[in-house]
Amino acid sequence: MKKRVVVAMSGGVDSSVTAHLLKEDGFEVIGATMRVWKETIQKGLDRCCGASDVEDARHVAQKLGIPFYVFNMEEEFEKEVIQYFCTEYGKGRTPNPCILCNEKIKFNSFLNKALDLEADFIATGHYARLEFDERMNRYLLKKGLDSRKDQSYVLFSLTQNQFSRTLLPLGHLKKEEVRVKALQLGLRVHDKPESQEICFIHELSYHSFLRERLGGAVEPGSIVDQRGNVLGKHKGIPFYTIGQRRGLGLARGKPLYVTGIDRDKNQIIVGEEADVYAESFLVDSVNWINDPFAGPSISAQVKIRYNHPGAAATLFIKENKEVLVTFLTPQKAVTPGQAAVLYDGEIVLGGGWIREVVKPEKT
């Protein structure tokens, strides 16, 4: 019997070609789109999983001759992604909702619905590779071959069980090849632009969304320099992130950047560009895709945000799923709340969440 796979179809070119490739490979393919945020539907917003995306996905499914479903996941999305997003900003941290959406929604709730349809696998259009290592008896997550589109960073938190049920057909392809294939198939999404915005933010800025959600938790406070001298006023902790330069409202004759956020004192700390660089930081809630290694430390490449190229570092493995990362060369804007993903060449060793920068000891 054919293996059954449910493809998470976003209405974009990547998931559309994913569905085609799997059908071509002999799978029984079902397409499904997630409805995660009702306002994108109600207001006709041009966002991922909005009304136009659902229709594009439905149209592609019809073109490919596969069944199509819309999964309602608004409740799960509100609980796992929206609340996390607001809570993290309220704490003075900078969240990455896409990673939580992958971990909690696509590869958990969506997977469970696919299993209800007696599927063997789910599939997505991520540019990353999964390979089973028989010697280690584990799945390995690797970078996509298209280095410009590699999305392994946003998949670091998945488990071996989730990997065992996942197919990523685009990991060995380049984006240009995917668009050409979609054009050859006559899919109207072949030249559809990629969605860059956060799907549940429909304003030009996320500030009004947070202000509505957090209410009284958003309070003005002081902007201070490295020595604690008050330089001005900020509009609320959630509206600032490490490395930010614009929107500070300070005129000091030289560029100033956010170098720290003190939630307890309700202060934004600023400094010069050199003050934004950090060498060491703590990572918690680490998920090891490969088993933790023998010895107190290992060398790795570490990415501290999606568009960060990665930098050489030493990892000091601590208890309680913690890692101390020390870069060989200080990196700009190490930001609490963002993900730190650990690589050995093209292989993802694991990753976790940046907790805090570790200041060098004064001598």
Q: Which residues are catalytic?
A: 101, 199
Residue 178 CB contacts under 8 Å (≥ 6 apart), including other chains:
13, 14, 17, 170
Residue 172, token pair as written in the block: 């060995």
* DSSP conformation letters of 180-239: HHHHHTT-TTTTPPPP-S-TT--SSSSHHHHHHHHGGG---EEEE-TT--EEEEES-GGG
CA distance 51 to 40: 7
Residue 270 CB contacts under 8 Å (≥ 6 apart), including other chains:
223, 224, 225, 231, 248, 250, 256, 257, 258, 259
CA distance 109 to 112: 5
CA distance 89 to 8: 29
The 10 Å Cβ neighbour count of residue 218 is: 18
Q: Which residue shows structure tokens 């019997």?
A: 1
Closest by Cα among 234, 3, 241, 38 to 119: 3
